[in-house]
């Protein structure tokens, strides 16, 4: 078999397994399987893998570094492949202009200043850019998420920008936490946000190791890298 064909078969097999895990988790939770969207986190993997995944039916992809994401998005767009690009990494304000040029969703809004910079970069858009607020589940802001006390300030900043649409929250389960406890807490924060902003219903939670717990606690999007594409070489 040609290398591309082998890789396609490998990705297809992994995708069957991941979709099966999602379907079983939905069934156990009494949720329709369509209520969970799979976002393939393709960081460190080449654009050719993204193209293969798109061919296998993946619609949403996640990336965490601007330079890498911009290049892949340009490649795929040039090849006529339409995908929904999720930016899931730490976003420096000097990269905002670039990221808003290709991203369909920014999942990692974690400060008022970043929300303001995104608001300026998207002002006057016909269709607002979806953003998720990355929340800190354990209250440690050093890990990149907004702590509960700051959640209203950051969400108000997002909703006061015409170019942005507050779509919901994103979180990563803190290391060493039981994922059920983590996502239960996230569900509370997400519920509070959706009560205040009725359109903010997205809950992006769950990765290769803990997607079942995330689905149990209401995740609408799971972000899967390793189980779909394989172990990444570098820690990032």
In the complex with ligand PLP, which residue's Cβ is closer, 44 or 161? 44
* CA–CA gap between residue 165 and residue 159 (Å, rounded): 7
Using CB under 6 A, which of the segments 29-37, 51-59, 110-118, 222-230 binds ligand PLP?
A: 222-230
- Closest residue to ligand PLP, Cβ-based? 225
Interface pick for ligand PLP out of 97, 104, 208, 230 (rule CB under 6 A): 208
DSSP 146: B
Give the whole-angstrom CA distance, residue 93 versus residue 30: 41
Site string for ligand PLP, 13-32 (x = CB under 6 A): --------------------
Residue 83 contacts residue 61 (beta carbons within 8 Å)? yes
Which residues in 125-153 are b (16+ Cβ under 10 Å) and which e? eeebbbbbbbbbbbeeeebbbbbeebbee
The site that binds ligand PLP (CB under 6 A) totals a number of residues, namely 13
Dist CA 156 CA 160 (whole Å)? 6
Rounded to whole angstroms, the Cα distance separating 33 from 22 reads 7
The region of 28-36, 67-75, 91-99, 217-225 touching ligand PLP under the rule CB under 6 A is 217-225
CB of 227 to ligand PLP, least distance (A): 6
Q: Which of residues 158-187 bind ligand PLP (CB under 6 A)?
A: 172
Q: Which of 145, 168, 218, 225 binds ligand PLP (CB under 6 A)?
A: 225
- Say how far apart CA 78 and CA 175 lie, in whole Å: 39
Under the criterion CB under 6 A, does residue 37 sit at the interface with ligand PLP? Answer: no
The rounded distance, in Å, linking the Cα atoms of 40 and 152 is 29
Helix or strand or coil: residue 124?
A: coil
- Window 102-131: residues binding ligand PLP (CB under 6 A): none
Q: Least distance (Å) from ligand PLP to the CB of residue 57?
A: 18
What residue has token string 């990032």? 236
| Residue 223 makes contact with ligand PLP by CB under 6 A | yes
Q: Which stretch binds ligand PLP (CB under 6 A): 10-18, 90-98, 115-123, 224-232?
A: 224-232
Q: Around 69, how many Cα atoms within 13 Å sit in the side-chain half-sphere?
A: 29
Is position 43 an interface residue for ligand PLP (rule: CB under 6 A)?
Answer: yes
Binding site residues, ligand PLP, CB under 6 A:
41, 43, 64, 88, 172, 207-209, 223-227
């Amino acid at each position: 078999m040609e290398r591309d064909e082998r890789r396609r078969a490998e990705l297809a097999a992994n995708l069957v397994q991941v979709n099966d895990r999602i379907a079983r988790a939905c069934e156990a939770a009494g949720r329709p399987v369509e209520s969970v969207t799979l976002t393939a986190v393709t960081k460190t993997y080449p654009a050719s893998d993204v193209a293969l995944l798109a061919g296998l039916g993946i619609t949403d992809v996640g990336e965490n570094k601007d330079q890498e994401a911009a290049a892949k998005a340009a490649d795929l767009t040039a090849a006529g492949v339409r995908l929904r690009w999720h930016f899931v990494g730490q976003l420096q304000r000097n990269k905002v202009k670039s990221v808003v040029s290709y991203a369909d969703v920014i999942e990692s809004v974690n400060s008022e200043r970043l929300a303001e910079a995104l608001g300026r970069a998207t002002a006057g858009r016909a269709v607002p850019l979806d953003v998720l607020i990355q929340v800190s589940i354990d209250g440690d802001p050093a890990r990149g998420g907004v702590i509960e006390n700051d959640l209203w300030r950051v969400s108000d900043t997002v909703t006061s920008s015409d170019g942005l649409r507050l779509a919901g929250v994103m979180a990563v389960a803190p290391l060493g936490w039981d994922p059920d406890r983590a996502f239960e807490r996230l569900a509370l924060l997400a519920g509070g946000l959706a009560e205040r902003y009725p359109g903010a219903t997205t809950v992006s939670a769950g990765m290769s190791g803990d997607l079942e717990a995330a689905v149990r606690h209401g995740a609408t999007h799971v972000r899967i890298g390793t189980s779909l594409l394989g172990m990444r070489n570098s820690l990032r």
